[in-house]
Amino acid sequence: MIKKYSIKKLLDQHNLFLNKKVIVEGWVRSFRNYMFISLNDGSTIKNIQIVVSSSEKLKKNFLKQITIGTSLHVIGIITNSIGKEQVIELQSDLIKIYGKVDHLLFQQSILQPKQHSLEKLRTQTHLRFRTKVFSCVMRIRHHIAFSIHKYFNENGFFYIHTPIITTSNAEGAGNMFQVTTLDLKHIPWTHDKIIDYQKDFFKCKTYLGVSGQLEAEAASLALGKVYTFGPVFRAENSNTSRHLSEFWMIEPEIAFYHLEENMNLAEEFLKYIIQYIIEHCVDDLYFLTNYMSKNEEQSLLKQLESLLTINFEKISYTESIDILNKSIHNNKVNFVHPVVWGMDLQSEHEQYLVNKYFKNPIIIFDYPCDIKAFYMKMNNDEKTVRAMDILFPKVGEIIGGSQREERYDILITRMKKHNINKQLLYWYLDTRRFGSVPHSGFGLGFDRLVQFISGMQNIRDVIPFPKTPNHAS
Ligand code: 4AD
Ligand code: MG
């Protein structure tokens, strides 16, 4: 029986297949002189060349139906190619068309073989998978996700599925999308003229989760090392190149872990992923480097490799404020937002520190307690918490995390200060009453990591169907 192979397998292991009859299936990338078809099946950026046999060349009317985008089933023999472009080619015995392409629609589609802007590609998200650039990004995205599971599995972490629907809006990580089955045209009101959520699906107010951290903490306080990897939702009105309303986050949470260990884990973890991508996605990284070369001085591969050789600089929030103030003082830089201890670092400040001052990823720790979430562990100075953010070149904050407040009394005080409903979070507080332990974790923005590794300028170009303010279709 003749077997079917992916184009990647045929090209990678071409010696195995020489003079063998095989089946390949894919979409036409180009068709020259009724003779040479470039076929791609998505398994790799590379195409296989199909040489149309002399008997099939006679079927002119049939061949006329083969255009860019047509899907084909081809049986043929793998031979060495005399062309310079490829090592092997497929001498066709039989070509079958699965699906033809509508010429009129094609004229307006992004499949037309010319350079389209990434903005244009976004208007046809369902078709952009077929473009070289987007398929590269998608393959890299897959390998990053895989390497994340691989890393955790090799290091004794358990994958926990935290809920997407939640009743708590306590994390303070951004505005939430509400989940309801109430008929908005006939809202049920109580006697006190507030919405009667007893009539809603869950008999209470519910939201889409902004993070799985609090639930992951509960799991880690039994299983030791856990992680989540799922979609989260934030209804912030941020129209930037690094914000999505629906994005994917990875949140490891580790019992008996202090901030220092947490920072080291995050650095080792990021480097592991990058190393994995360098080893498994070279073709796609090369393509993306060429694609962007006009405004990139260094190849993507070199940038990633150099990141593996350096230690991420760790500086406290207070030190970072000092550096910013000194730089202003020495006329090295001007900021729109004034720099004062206690403020949230703005992206202009972060960019200066990462891109200009250190020129490398940095970890900033011990932030003022007033600008960070209630669950972060209070330092003895009672002004700062054991928070840490990792900032990367170009994409800025890629990781946010902390050691958690494990002391029940202090946690209660912090919740009061943040106006957080103790009743709703009784279960979270319970974890501090049944053998509480120091523990830590962080959240990695998956799409931002894909953006950094693939070198794409806009986060909307690294997720299949981006959701952003005013844009959900
Ligand atoms: O810093 P954040 O808000 O941290 C948390 O949610 C914690 N619960 C994490 C934890 O400690 N377990 O979000 C974590 C990361 C950010 O550093 C950023 O990379 C990414 O999520 N992120 C976004 N990515 C895309 N679009 C957005 N709107 C994002 N908001 C945050
Ligand atoms: Mg953050």
User: Whose CA is closest to 33, among 48, 15, 18, 51?
Assistant: 51
* 269 shares a domain with 224: yes
**Residue carrying the six token digits 């070199």:** 302
Domain count, the chain: 2
Task: Tell me the sheet residues that pair with 178.
Answer: 207
**Residue-wise pLDDT tens for the chain (473 aa)?**
999 999 999 999 999 999 999 999 999 999 999 999 999 999 999 999 999 998 877 788 999 999 999 999 999 999 999 888 889 999 999 999 999 999 999 999 999 999 899 999 999 999 999 999 999 999 999 999 999 999 999 999 999 999 999 998 766 666 899 999 999 999 999 999 999 999 999 999 999 999 999 999 999 999 999 999 999 999 999 999 999 999 999 999 999 999 999 999 999 999 999 999 999 999 999 999 988 875 556 789 999 999 999 999 999 999 999 999 999 999 999 999 999 999 999 999 999 999 999 999 999 999 999 999 999 999 999 999 999 999 999 899 999 999 999 999 999 999 999 989 899 899 999 999 999 999 999 999 999 999 999 999 999 999 999 999 999 98
* 137 shares a domain with 97: no
The pLDDT of residue 299: 86
Residue-range definition of the domain harbouring residue 16 = 3-101
Task: Report which protein residue has its CA nearest ligand 1's atom 23.
Answer: 445
* 150 shares a domain with 86: no
User: Whose CA is closest to 269, among 308, 223, 224, 303?
Assistant: 308
Measure Cα distances from 169 to 46, 109, 174, 175, 262 in Å: 47, 42, 9, 8, 25
Does the beta carbon of 206 lie inside 6 Å of ligand 1? no
User: CB–CB of 429/422 below 8 Å?
Assistant: yes
- Rounded to the nearest angstrom, the distance between the alpha carbon of 373 and the centre of ligand 2 is 9
- Rounded to the nearest angstrom, the distance between the alpha carbon of 138 and the centre of ligand 1 is 21
The pLDDT of residue 222: 98
The pLDDT of residue 462: 98
* 269 shares a domain with 148: yes
In a domain, 79, yes or no: yes
In a domain, 343, yes or no: no
457: CATH: 3.30.930.10
* 269 shares a domain with 383: yes
* 383 shares a domain with 245: yes
* 371 shares a domain with 275: yes
The pLDDT of residue 452: 97
The pLDDT of residue 59: 85
- Rounded to the nearest angstrom, the distance between the alpha carbon of 186 and the centre of ligand 2 is 38
In a domain, 469, yes or no: no
* 195 shares a domain with 95: no
The pLDDT of residue 54: 85
Torsional sign, CA 229, 234, 238, 244: positive
The pLDDT of residue 56: 79
45: CATH: 2.40.50.140
- Rounded to the nearest angstrom, the distance between the alpha carbon of 365 and the centre of ligand 2 is 12
In a domain, 334, yes or no: no
User: CB–CB of 26/10 below 8 Å?
Assistant: no
* 290 shares a domain with 228: yes
Mutation test of ligand 1: which of 233, 249, 251, 363 has the most ligand atoms closer than 8 Å to its C-beta?
249
Does the beta carbon of 400 lie inside 6 Å of ligand 1? yes
The pLDDT of residue 315: 98
